[in-house]
Structure 1
Amino acid sequence: MEEKILVTGPTGNVGTHVVRQLLAAGVPVRTVAHSRNSIEALRKAGTEVFEADFGEPGSMHAVFDGISRVFLLTPLVPHMVRMGATLVEEAKKAGVKHIVRLSGMGADAAPGITLGRWHREVEREIEDSGIAYTFLRPNSFMQTYAVFFGESIKNRDAFYLPAGDGKVSLVDTRDVAGVAVEALTKKGHEGKAYTLTGPEALSNTRVSEILSEVTGRAIRYVDVSDESARHRMKNAQIPDWLIDVLMELYQLHREGATSAVLPTVEQVTGKPPIDFRQFALDHVEAFK
């Protein structure tokens, strides 16, 4: 019987699809969760679930037992680096042979932005551990528009960002998961760092045009000032540290620094990446 693969962050934008695609391929999956709803849903999906909390390192000991391959996703929190280091240490103790780490585009840039530096620090922890690795460095996710801007689009026919006319080669999380599954189940990906993008770079004006065509309504992109964006996020109860992280990212988008289009998804998976129109069609209910 094939060995189980451990998937951390199994209910998030990427982890959900990693779990689905592994199970669809007949690969047994172990997941880790701590909320009752998540545990029940993951069990119903067919995974072995360990109840643990990343914030309590002691609860993670048993999670890695008998595991040789791990999809490592850590939540975006101020202590992400410390959390990542703890998980890598536990993986090493348990004899894990290969870690596929969800990082971020530009993690290797210097000096980079805060989020990129955090990702790179976790990458270094993995490199220093001696465990074989594959780093996935995706651009911003298409799913962001459904998850974070869906309500605004539904209720106001608009979404608001301080991103100017900058273009971003948005990537679908299903494609990110597809690359992860290839790296977890096939040889030849060890020691690689894959930057993942969609098939085209889009401005938010173009995104709004596609959403308008798909929904049959006029959807507007409103380019707001940094001050206005900060005010909106503060009103949404987003913590100051996360606002700072996001504003750095939006500046990169505004400058066109995340517009590169790369063939990595198709090279690794053998399938062309999903474009934004297909994403919008598949998630149209999030915008109606």
Structure 2
Amino acid sequence: MDKYLITGATGNIGMYVVEELLSLEKHVKLAVHDVKKAKEKFTDKENIELVKFDFLDDKTFEDALEGIKGIFLVRPPELEHPNKDMLPFLEAAKEKGVEKIVFVSLLGVEKNPIVPHRKIESMIKVLGIPYVFLRPSFFMQNLNTNHREEIRDRDELYIPAGKSKTSFIDTRDIARAAAISLIDEKYRNTAITLTGKRAIDYYEIAKTMSEMLERKIEYKNPSLLKFRKERIKRGTPKEFANVMSILYLTTKLGIAKDINYDLEKIIGREPISFRQYVIDHKNYWIK
């Protein structure tokens, strides 16, 4: 049976990639930091193998890559230097004869040579490993992770996006696209931009969340500088606050508003709507 290595297997895309591949009757190997903790999360799943893995420890590469046909790859946010942090693993994958890497990249990365995702794409190409680069728009799930506390505790969306619109995408749809493109040979050596089915602004987001949560959620819309300062004050690490500020700047400039229909073509159905996402995740914001 073909076996696929999943990095970021407990994350908000990876865990759904695991589910999708299992539903397609594929064997998966989960690359995790803590095998014991991950085992508790996936205890009732068959066709799963857990292996201790760390991008910064090349001693973990051999076991992780043994018998692997393809890799689902995500970059840990804290790894900011791809040549040092990611290249050794990619070289090991090449040496092991991995047949495809599906990498979750970044929307608009082709226009931005500075971000780590662009450098990782380039490294994979130079190594000659067949690839699919998925370039998704903003995740809906950012609202139940990065912005969970402000919504739950303060009834606010503290986001500096102005009146701009964003073609939000549910990570469950990204995961389905990733699983399909990993096992289907018609997806090979290509980069695919993934968006939701419509672009919405944060005023509409606040309105929808207010309706679904049955309480007023207010969109605050601070300046970028005020946003960064307040996020750090609330406990966000300075480096991540900087990344968030840059991403919301791109939103404000209108880079995230475009939509296409490539996602629908891959997954064979309409993308999950924002309203459905809120319904499915209501418990995250209950006080």
TM-score bin (small chain):
over 0.9
Distance 1:17 1:110 in 2: 28
Out of 85, 109, 112, the residue aligned to residue 107 of structure 1 is 109
Alignment TM-score, normalising by the size of structure 2: 0.94
**Structure 2 residue identity aligned to 1:89:** E
Q: Deviations over 1:165-193 (max 9, x none)?
A: 11110100011001101111212100111
Partner of 2:139: 141
Shift of 1:131: 1.0
Query: Secondary structure of the equivalent of 1:135?
Result: strand
Partner of 2:9: 10
User: In 2, are the aligned partners of 1:74 and 1:80 still within 8 Å (CA)?
Assistant: no
Query: Secondary structure of the equivalent of 2:164?
Result: coil
Do residues 263 (structure 1) and 261 (structure 2) align?
yes
Q: Give structure 2 stretches of 5+ with no counterpart.
A: none
Distance 1:90 1:165 in 2: 45
User: In 2, are the aligned partners of 1:15 and 1:177 still within 8 Å (CA)?
Assistant: yes
Shift of 1:240: 2.6
Query: Secondary structure of the equivalent of 2:62?
Result: helix
- Could you tell which deviates more after superposition, 81-90 or 237-246? 237-246
Shift of 1:129: 0.9
Q: Matched residue pairs, number? A: 283
Q: Give structure 1 stretches of 5+ with no counterpart.
A: none
User: In 2, are the aligned partners of 1:6 and 1:30 still within 8 Å (CA)?
Assistant: yes
Partner of 1:206: 204
Out of 85, 94, 97, the residue aligned to residue 96 of structure 2 is 94
User: In 2, are the aligned partners of 1:33 and 1:53 still within 8 Å (CA)?
Assistant: yes
Partner of 1:77: 78
Structure 1 runs of 4+ aligned residues shifted over 4 Å read none
Out of 164, 167, 175, the residue aligned to residue 165 of structure 2 is 167
Distance 1:186 1:262 in 2: 21
Distance 2:62 2:17 in 1: 23
Shift of 1:43: 4.8
Query: Secondary structure of the equivalent of 1:241?
Result: helix
Cα distance change on mapping 1:76 and 1:158 into 2, 3 Å? same
Do residues 124 (structure 1) and 122 (structure 2) align?
yes
Distance 1:243 1:271 in 2: 35
Query: Secondary structure of the equivalent of 1:262?
Result: coil
Distance 1:98 1:18 in 2: 15
> For 1:23-34, what aligned pairs fall within 5 Å after superposition?
23-34=22-33
Shift of 1:235: 2.0
User: In 2, are the aligned partners of 1:31 and 1:42 still within 8 Å (CA)?
Assistant: no
User: In 1, are the aligned partners of 2:159 and 2:227 still within 8 Å (CA)?
Assistant: yes
Distance 2:130 2:45 in 1: 29
Distance 1:216 1:124 in 2: 47
Q: Deviations over 1:23-50 (max 9, x none)?
A: 1221111011112312432354331000
User: In 2, are the aligned partners of 1:209 and 1:219 still within 8 Å (CA)?
Assistant: yes
Shift of 1:121: 0.4
User: In 1, are the aligned partners of 2:224 and 2:249 still within 8 Å (CA)?
Assistant: no
User: In 1, are the aligned partners of 2:112 and 2:118 still within 8 Å (CA)?
Assistant: no
Alignment TM-score, normalising by the size of structure 1: 0.94
Percentage of identical aligned residues: 32
Cα distance change on mapping 1:208 and 1:108 into 2, 3 Å? same
Out of 234, 237, 241, the residue aligned to residue 235 of structure 2 is 237
